[in-house]
Structure formats: structure tokens, C-alpha cells
Amino acid sequence: MELSEEFAGAQFGDQRLYERCIQVAQRVGSDPTLSFPRIAEDWGWLKGAYRFFSNPRVTREKILEPHVEHTVRRCMKAPVVLAVQDTTTITYSHHLHTEGLGPVDSTPGGGLGMIVHTVLAVDGANRQPFGVLHQEVIIRHGRFPKTETYQQRLGRKRESQKWINGLWGVKRVLPAHPKILHICDREADIYLFIKEILAANEGFVIRGGRNHSTEFSSVINELSTAAVRGAVQIHVPRNGTRPGRNATVEIQSCSVRMQAPKVVGHRGEQVPVNVVRVKEPNPPPGQAALHWILLTSEPVDTLEECLTSIRYYQARWLIEDFHKGLKSGCNIEERQLSERQALENALGLFTVIAAHLLYLRSLSAVPLGQPIECGFSNIQIKILQAKFPKEKVTMEPNTIIRLIARMGGFIGRKSDGNPGWLTIMRGISDLLLIEQGVFLAPAVVGKG
């Protein structure tokens, strides 16, 4: 995956706009944390970049299109594609005068911004991120009165429609893929969404968020007598001040028929859903027991099958990381652009950059010996070899990314795990700078 390739062929109906897009993407992609003024070559470049983002012919969809097409191509090679959907809010606290933004939190006088719902494609076999398949921007128009009736609520456009839009957005670009599973957190535990996924002939792993009524009783009741498939150790990652730990959990599963909820007037047929419960019977003293439920279309009759669905669900952290990449990696909330359309176009550009960084970072976790395209030039590899003469720099993506991260300050001991966003970005930015130096050197010091 090479960054400029991900923009190649964007259609703005104007060759100059296209060239500007590639220029801006390359320049910004070399260090996405920097502000536009800091990264500009000169005043003319900066003006050109601002004009590009605010040009009415430029839209987020058009910027994303080539990247989505590449993502589709990568997906077609994978037998199972995980379509990971999730939402983030982008708050522009410095943009009080920008027209067209909406409230993003529930406190009156809170920030203005946009709600961004993205579908990230991930390889079901190894959780390699392929890129973005769909993205929707939602602008809230004020808050709805608490007194509105259920019928009023049904009658208006609701934000939860984003899950169904994500489903059909994926279907539209990947109509022929044999196996797509939608991976969502508990906000998406919605009867109508699950029903729609099955109607679209696709599958899902969704975290359970409510105790649905079932044919015989309820999900929780049916689980209480469900078969125990086994016990396994799982690693619970560090979260804030809570340290990481290993937990022994029990895995139960069953198949139920979910009833249409009261909110759709109990109309609608029952929907078949498989349920996996992960529960920690003996948590360490003072710690809450792990307990979560997954709803899935996948088989859950054996321990191995349950673990497969759990592994699919674990691909969800990638989209959390993608959101972090947009915010702390690309500083999307600090971008100084005065119109909503321009902010949205910048979001399109940074969406591709963040997806690309996510991909690059995932290479550091690819086991050695596994061939994968990594998109680094010969010169870049030679620079790494010169910089780290003691290391054997092979074309293994794992080695390359770890060395790049070391240029960015990653120590790289075994206990350091995989490098993070910032170190990889700093490393890539340094590598690109050195590469430029290599090209300029003959003019400066002469050849030989």
C-alpha cells in the first residue's frame, strides 16, 4: 500500500485539482501531525492547499474513491472480510464561527463538530487492516425534546440508521464478496440492524448490549442453561491506570431466536442469533469480573468456533486505533479551515492517511517470512541499512517497520511490544527527509 497510489485517479473533473490533491496528500502524509502552515513550502503552496480544500468540486467522497477501490481489491483476495463499523466525534473547539457544524455532546454550550461513522475492512484470517470501505458524516441539528413520543421518534431520521447505511455502503462496493462479517460494539445491538444484515446475506459479530426477548424467554435466561464449551486464558490489555492481566474465562454458547422488540410493536419475525458468553468465574480481589456477550451469525457449537468469533470481534480495536490516528496522529481537530465543506474534505484526506498508517503499523506485527507488499523504495531500504549497519535489513515488513520506528525513538526491546503511532510517524518523516537529502546531495556536494 503506497500512499500516493491511494489517491491516484481521483475524479474532480479538473486535472489541476487532481494534481493539487496528490501534492497535498504527499506533503501532508510525510508528517501528518504538523499544521498546514508548518508543512507548507511557501505561501503559494499554503494558499493552493486551502483553495483545494474549499473548492466546491472537491468532496470527501471523491477524495476517498480511489482508496475505497483499492480496499475493495484487497478485500477480494481474502476469504473472510471483517467490516468493522464504529463512530467517533470530531470536535472543532476553535471553530465557533464555522457554519454547518452541529453539537457533538449533550452538555449545553458544548463543542461543535461532526459525527463520523466509518467502516474499516480487515482480513479475517490475520486481522490485517485493508482500508476504509464506507464513511458517513452526521451533523446533529440541536437536541430532540425528551418529551417526544415513540411514534415521533420513529418518524424522524435517527442516528442509528448509520449502522444500516454502513451495511449497504459495504454491499454497494463489495457486492460479490462471498463472506463479509459486520463487527460492531454494543451500540449496534439493534434488532432491525441484525435482521437487515441477514436479509443482505451477510454476517455479524456484535457485542450484546441488551437482554432481548427470545422465543422461549430472554438471552440471559437461555444462557443460564447454555453449554459450557471450555475455559481459556485471555489477556486483558492495560486500560488507563488498570494494569493488564491474564484472566481465566469460561465460554458458553447457545442459539436463540430473537423476538422483535416492543419498539417495533412486536411486529416482525423472529431472527436466529448465536450467542457466546465470556465470563470470568473468579476475578482477582477488588476487580470486576470480565463478562461479555457476543451475538453472531457464525456457528458456536464448539470451543474452537466460539474462539473464532471472539477473535473476529477483537479486530474492533483496529478502528479505535484508526480514530486515535485521525485525532492524535493527524490532529484533525486542530485543522484551521473556515468552512464545513473544507473541514470535511480534509477529513477525507486524513482518513486515507490514517488508514495507510494503520496498515504500515500492522506490518510490524506480521510474522517473519510472510510475504507482503510493503511499498518502501530501494533507496529507503538502503538508508535503513546504512543507518543500522549491525542489523540485517531484509525486505521483511516486520523488520523494516521496526527499524523505521527506531528512527522515530522506539527502543525496540522485546518487552516494548509493537511500536506506536507517533514513533512510526516520526520515523517515516525522518526517512523521507533523508531520502530527499539523498536526491539533493549530488547537486550540493557534487557526484563523488
Question: What is the binding site for Mn ion (CB under 5 A)?
Answer: 86, 185
Q: Minimum CB separation from Mn ion for residue 186, in Å?
A: 8
Q: Minimum CB separation from Mn ion for residue 72, in Å?
A: 24
Q: Minimum CB separation from Mn ion for residue 126, in Å?
A: 24
Q: Minimum CB separation from Mn ion for residue 332, in Å?
A: 17
Nearer to Mn ion, 192 or 393 (CB): 192
Q: Minimum CB separation from Mn ion for residue 295, in Å?
A: 15
Nearer to Mn ion, 8 or 137 (CB): 137
Compute CA distances 296 → 121, 167, 307, 308, whole Å: 18, 15, 12, 11
d(CA 43, CA 261): 59
Nearer to Mn ion, 31 or 185 (CB): 185
- Quickly count: other Cβ atoms within 10 Å of residue 80's Cβ: 18
Nearer to Mn ion, 209 or 283 (CB): 209
Nearer to Mn ion, 67 or 117 (CB): 117
Nearer to Mn ion, 86 or 344 (CB): 86
Q: Minimum CB separation from Mn ion for residue 307, in Å?
A: 23
Q: Minimum CB separation from Mn ion for residue 306, in Å?
A: 23
| Strand segments (E) across 334-439 | none
Nearer to Mn ion, 169 or 375 (CB): 169
